[in-house]
Structure 1
């Protein structure tokens, strides 16, 4: 039974984070190379803006903001799942190689498979999922020992190795291809938000609509899995079955996000940690906060990155890494 004081605290934090996210969205809509006056935002949203104002807001600025927010939510939720099923606070889809697996699949697809621009937005999350799934299966299989279960420290080390090897493989794949394709993969590796059109939003939303309720439904089982395998077995939970289902959900969330944002790490590490520090470790309380924190963090990073140096921009993945890498080292030393 969750105490009413904790529930009240969670709701207040949820409202505060929602307000912070809305403020960041408003700031992001007005800032950029083609600035949009804040007193013209509401008229433009209501369809009373000039052609330039409506083009900047609806064709350039708003799709990027929405896709960044959704991707951050997906990455943070994926990290929360991975930390739960591995019982390791350092687990993150970028750090343990899942994002890199998706990246290799996207690279092969982009370089060697001809596809029209209409279907590309909807196919890319599926391709990313296939690559991330194969990678996750290999990492999980190499980390599992019969009779001993999943070795979480081994999983992190193997995952880091996979991440480095697969990133190297992407560089090898693009080394002899045409320049425009090299630029795309290079931006993906840097974590540059590239899927900034409305079709990409429609491609990622179904994954979140299906998987967020599923994870909230599984929140209590994720709590039990985080304790230990004997405890989970003693209360009648099929550990391997639950882990596989949750791992698939984490892979799908991470793949759908990085398919449009590029190789962004650390959001899945920081989001769950910040949420647990605010409301405690119970997933029923921390997961909704983690989703909001992840979305806001990536949105903030992208807003800073595209406005820090104009007209050029710094990839959101670089801004996140500048914050996330020291945070990862701090957690590594602490744990």
Structure 2
């Protein structure tokens, strides 16, 4: 579907965008219901409904409330967080190919988390409320390094330089991560490899509670800055002429994007591509105005990840396919199709 035409009346454009977001919300609810019924041990819709209302067996309660529901909720939160992070980065860089994975923010957050996990006695006992903070440290340091390397005093921050610097930094961090994994025990090595592939490993309510405050605070903040992102998309000179403190706003938005990506990476591993394809799909559905684009990106990212995780859990029975791999398989062909249709 092509993006909404710019010559469409504003009221009609907004109405159409709201309709699109309602449809995305309905699809998320449908995927949520299907995911509750899907897994190695299958529960029928009647079993799920009975269990939700307190009539399930101990086994059904364990499967639904302790294993599936936390994972499904985390999938929704992570998908929304990564997509909004990517949308912010695409806005401040004015580059539709920017996302926290490509710019190295995910890699920086993941490196610090992996450093902690590699020296922690048992990976399963890692404090869930500490992981997002550690990930934020890694993402913050990475973002600061990328910004410092990409910023030129007399030229400002070039979008192209920002993306290229991020790619270079991501490559360096990935190399450091590989070196780190060579020193791990076989058990931890297997966990780290699965984590790097993008497996949602934080699958209990403690991880939901650890992630939820970050999403609840940062998503509304991003929505509040929608008008600033619209102005930044006009170009640095125009934004400055309109009275926008460009560098301060850009730095603040970069910090918000890094914090969103870091908190998500802490519980979901190195899931890439959501921050790239989610905003791109949303832009084609609701147009470039960030008041509509940000919430649509959150819905598109949540839908994409919950579908990917459901497929990954059911595709090979006991052998679970990491959600990050499924996302790439689903999203890459469509994204290549979009690139082939673009005028650039």
Shorter-chain TM-score range: over 0.9
State which of 146, 159, 168 in structure 2 corresponds to 1:139: 146
1:167 alignment counterpart: 174
Structure 2 CA distance for aligned equivalents of residues 41 and 135 of structure 1: 43
Distance in 2 (CA, whole Å) between partners of 1:79 and 1:311 is 32
Cα distance, 1:115 vs structure 2: 8.5
Deviations 1:230-279 (A, max 9, x none): 11111111011101111110000000111111101110111111111111
Q: Output the TM-score relative to the length of structure 2.
A: 0.93
Question: Matched residues in 2 for 1:153 and 1:116: separation?
Answer: 39
**What stretches of structure 1 of length at least 5 have no aligned partner?**
none
| In 1: Cα distance, 2:337 partner to 2:153 partner | 33
The corresponding residue for 1:307 is 314
62, 66, 89: which is aligned to 1:82?
89
Q: 1:77 to 1:101 in 2, by over 3 A?
A: same
SS at structure 1 position matched to 2:130: helix
- How far is the alpha carbon of 1:185 from its aligned partner? 1.1
1:217 Cα deviation (Å)? Answer: 1.0
Determine which of 53, 60, 64 is the counterpart of 2:71. 64
- Aligned position for 2:329: 322
Among candidates 187, 191, 199, match of residue 184 of structure 1: 191
Q: Which of the residues 5, 12, 25 maps onto 2:12?
A: 5
What SS is found at the alignment partner of 1:122? coil
Distance 1:138 1:325, change over 3 A: farther
Is the Cα contact below 8 Å between 1:90 and 1:328 reproduced in 2?
A: no
Gaps of 5+ in 2: 1-8
CA contact (8 A) 1:30 1:41 kept: yes
Find the residue that maps to 1:195 and give its secondary structure.
coil
1:261 aligns with 2:233: no
Q: Is the helix fraction higher in 1 or 2?
A: 1
Corresponding residue for residue 283 of structure 2: 276
Q: For residue 306 of structure 1, report the CA deviation from its aligned partner.
A: 1.1
Q: Give the alignment's TM-score, normalised by structure 1.
A: 0.95
Q: Is the contact made by 2:51 and 2:60 (CA closer than 8 Å) also made in structure 1? A: yes
Once residues 316 and 125 of structure 2 are traced to their aligned partners in structure 1, the CA distance between those partners, rounded to angstroms, is: 32
Match of 1:289 among 284, 296, 320: 296
Shift of 1:145: 1.3
C-alpha separation in 2, matches of 1:23 and 1:6: 26
Pairwise CA distance, 1:326: 4.2
Do 2:117 and 2:126's aligned partners in 1 also have CA atoms closer than 8 Å?
no
* 2:217 counterpart residue number: 210
Instruction: Please identify runs of 4+ aligned residues in structure 1 that moved more than 3 A.
Output: 113-119, 323-335
Aligned 8 A contact 1:267 1:297 in 2: yes
Residues 75 and 46 (structure 1 numbering): CA distance in 2 closer, same or farther, change over 3 Å?
A: same
Deviations 1:61-103 (A, max 9, x none): 1111010110000000000000001111100101111100011
**Deviation for aligned residue 1:160:** 1.7
Task: Give the deviation of 1:327 after TM superposition.
Answer: 5.0
RMSD: 1.7
